[in-house]
Structure 1
């Protein structure tokens, strides 16, 4: 059995397509979990992993392996989420929560509630996402929560606070994530263990897995540490305190090791552009690092929102002294293309943030002066509105009499 499992593991690493038939052999529960988890290292293998999980779930259900069944369903829900099959993921999560609450498995409940929170967040249902995360934290408070899982809870708490524009609280959660992962960080071991397994006359797959799991865990922790640091930089930018961003890199070894990370360098360039109070430099920093920024939905959305806000504020400041002004002159002052300025002015007029019209024939913006409200006019409107309510009420009573 050990030799067969070892063969499957090596095939998963080197020739994943040839490893699938080996799953037809009956393994014990831990061995099935090991083989399923090994597929996570293969890029672009989400569909293969989903099929493997489905087959393993059927086998676990036929063998009455309830604990393994729940573990595999949890894995499948995560795979559905990663594959953007949110309806399938949510359906499976709801079933899992029902089953886990019956056996009161707190640790599994924490992880499944966290997956539920992620799904609702992607679906833009922030209230349900917060409720799921609160349930996860409630379950976590009654048990010992491993640092990586606690860090995942803190990270997502920060993300949800960002969505509510509470960047100060979000920053504190991201800081806790970074520090929590630092205390749990596992140095990467040598990868020579794989060669030893292949050349050994008596393969020891447990030591091989232990070594490989350390490598995977180490990489995963580093990625989450970097993500937490990036979000901390985002919070400083959104709080309009970009001058504090460079100092974050000096927060111990946990942050300083990402000093040369492309994404961290990109965020620092955005912070520096904001510090210069130049909308042109800010837009240039976003454009130069567009690929990196677009790779993270949270960073992309909030920096786009900030840019839109800053652009609107700058336009209002520029046009304040004028009653009529050429759009090309505004674009020259703000150092942006005419098309962008014209589009933003149109949006501001439609949103009632600017009182005026665009004269496309002459390429001008005509700004209306805000007139003082006429108290008599407002009172007349109020009287007419109240009279309308009285007439409607009398009509209803007359209908009842008839």
Structure 2
């Protein structure tokens, strides 16, 4: 670098920005090197970095620290280092005070999402224990948000807890919290979060066998969604639930297929695993419509090629058994 370039960087602040970027990258590298040797030391080092005094006016430095926290969180989640991730979430809280409320809520929600997305293999007892740890972490973060008078953060975390309750099949708690939270969100007119909670309320009602309330909650979610922009992922989730209710409640498999197709396209563009589930439901609708030949056409076409595997082969076998009216062939299907 010549003197002219160096002077230009000093005047424009470009050099300072590059040093901040290098510092952030260095912290991630140190974290990577330490995390498998000594988890606690790695978390301690990260905590020291993000809790060092930072001016709230220095947006670049705050942003860099946010990015470092998320990168380290992704690493821990990928490696399934649950205790380290939990400790990181707890020990980076002092840094959150220097962030705006909206940014802090987004960061904590993303970290909690990472923790809740971890799936542990083991015995049923071990799986149940890890589910309890997820619920405990959510409730602990909610309590911290309440103590800090961070209403938006608390509501965001409660919305995630509703989703978690559904994921672990604790549908009554999911429904109870969802109903309370929706009432609160309506007063604040927080439509984006309301869509998420109303969708989870619909899922809980469906699983508890109350299809009327499930349909009403979904209608409310779709009405709320029509008034705002919703992410492609959320739109796909709404379409998926619509398809499920049309199939389960009204046995309208033709309409259900259309919704599952919309959900499939939404998930597939985002390369999400839910795309395969939507595709399987599409194939099931064709079977229920007594169109088993179309199952083979879909599986062998462009849609099926990308998701080829045991699960689609199983759906083909079910379609064949349906066409042949063979109960014995159906019983032999293995997913």
Counterpart of 1:247 in structure 2 is: 297
Give the distance between the partners of 2:71 and 2:237, measured in 1 at CA.
32
Structure 2: runs of 5+ lacking an equivalent: 1-49, 51-64, 97-103, 121-129
Counterpart of 2:55 in structure 1 is: none
* Cα deviation, residue 40, structure 1: 2.8
Give the distance between the partners of 2:131 and 2:146, measured in 1 at CA.
22
* Cα deviation, residue 17, structure 1: 1.8
Give the distance between the partners of 2:85 and 2:143, measured in 1 at CA.
18
Whether 2:86 is the aligned partner of 1:20: answer yes
Counterpart of 2:189 in structure 1 is: 104
Whether 2:88 is the aligned partner of 1:38: answer no
- CA RMSD of superposed structures (Å): 2.1
Of 245, 256, 269, which residue of structure 2 is paired with 1:160?
245
Give the distance between the partners of 2:304 and 2:231, measured in 1 at CA.
21
- Per-residue CA deviation, residues 238-279 of structure 1 (Å, 9 max, x unaligned), is 111212211112553x43212x321111011111122223x2
* Cα deviation, residue 41, structure 1: 3.7
Give the distance between the partners of 2:77 and 2:333, measured in 1 at CA.
39
* Cα deviation, residue 12, structure 1: 4.8
Give the distance between the partners of 1:4 and 1:169, measured in 2 at CA.
44
* Cα deviation, residue 7, structure 1: 5.7
Bigger Rg, structure 1 or 2: 1
User: Scaled by the length of structure 1, what TM-score is found?
Assistant: 0.58
SS for the counterpart of 1:288 is coil
Q: Does the aligned pair in 2 maintain the 1:50–1:79 contact within 8 Å?
A: yes
Counterpart of 1:188 in structure 2 is: none
Counterpart of 2:306 in structure 1 is: 257
* Cα deviation, residue 5, structure 1: 7.1
SS for the counterpart of 2:229 is coil
Q: How many residues align?
A: 249
Give the distance between the partners of 2:294 and 2:179, measured in 1 at CA.
43
* Cα deviation, residue 66, structure 1: 1.2
* Cα deviation, residue 151, structure 1: 1.0
Structure 1: runs of 5+ lacking an equivalent: 186-217, 293-402
User: Scaled by the length of structure 2, what TM-score is found?
Assistant: 0.69
Q: Does the aligned pair in 1 maintain the 2:322–2:330 contact within 8 Å?
A: no
Structure 1 pair 271–24 and aligned structure 2 pair: CA distance change class (3 A): same
Whether 2:259 is the aligned partner of 1:173: answer yes
SS for the counterpart of 1:79 is helix
Counterpart of 1:271 in structure 2 is: 319
Q: Which has the larger share of helix?
A: 2
Q: Does the aligned pair in 1 maintain the 2:85–2:115 contact within 8 Å?
A: no
Give the distance between the partners of 1:5 and 1:109, measured in 2 at CA.
25
* Cα deviation, residue 77, structure 1: 0.9
Of 276, 281, 284, which residue of structure 2 is paired with 1:231?
281
- Per-residue CA deviation, residues 77-133 of structure 1 (Å, 9 max, x unaligned), is 111111121121111101110111011111111111110010001001111100001
